[in-house]
Amino acid sequence: MSSPVHIRVDRSLCVGSGTCVGTDPARFRMEDGRATATDGEHDLDDDLIDAIDGCPVAAITAHDPATDELVR
């Protein structure tokens, strides 16, 4: 069981490929042609890791909710 994370999408990098939405529709959605992540804390599970690693422009990051430290 992994510790919870906050998800961040850098919308200035996002190119709207929709890869994250296809990989992890529970956490990501498209807004105005760019991706956005659901607020709150999430498990860093396989779907989320695939969405982060699969982003073609590396616009998605996961952070420790307490320290804001980059987790992935």
Partner 1 sequence: VTNAPVTDDMLSAAAVRDPYAYFGRLRETAPVHFNERYRMWLLTRYADVEAAFRDPRFSSDRITPFIEQRLSDQPETGLARTFNILADWLVFKDPPDHGRLRKLVSRAFTPRAVEQMQERIELIASQLLDALPTDGTVDLIRGFAYPLPAIVIAEMLGVPPSDRDLFKGWSDDISALVFGGLDEVGRHDRAAVGMLELASYLTELIDHYETEPADNLISALVRAEGEGDKLSRDEVVATCTLLLFGGHETTTNLIGNGLLALLQHPDQLDHLRVEPQDFRPAVEEFLRFDGPAKAVARVMAEDVVIGEQHLRRGDRVYLVPAAANRDPRVYDDPDVFDIRREGPQHLGFAFGPHYCLGAPLARMEGTVAIRAVLDRFDGLELATDELSWHPVMLNRGLMELPVALRRREGTL
Nearer to partner 1, 40 or 56 (CB): 56
**Would you say 4 and 66 are in contact if contact means Cβ atoms under 8 Å apart?**
no
Alpha helices by DSSP H, listed for 1-72, are 19-23, 46-54
CA distance 29 to 49: 16
> Should residue 18 be labelled a site residue for partner 1 when binding is judged by CB under 8 A?
yes
Name the segment binding partner 1 (CB under 8 A); options: 3-11, 37-45, 50-58, 62-70. 50-58
Binding status of residue 57 toward partner 1 by CB under 8 A: yes
Residues at the interface with partner 1 (CB under 8 A): 13, 15-19, 22-23, 33, 53-58
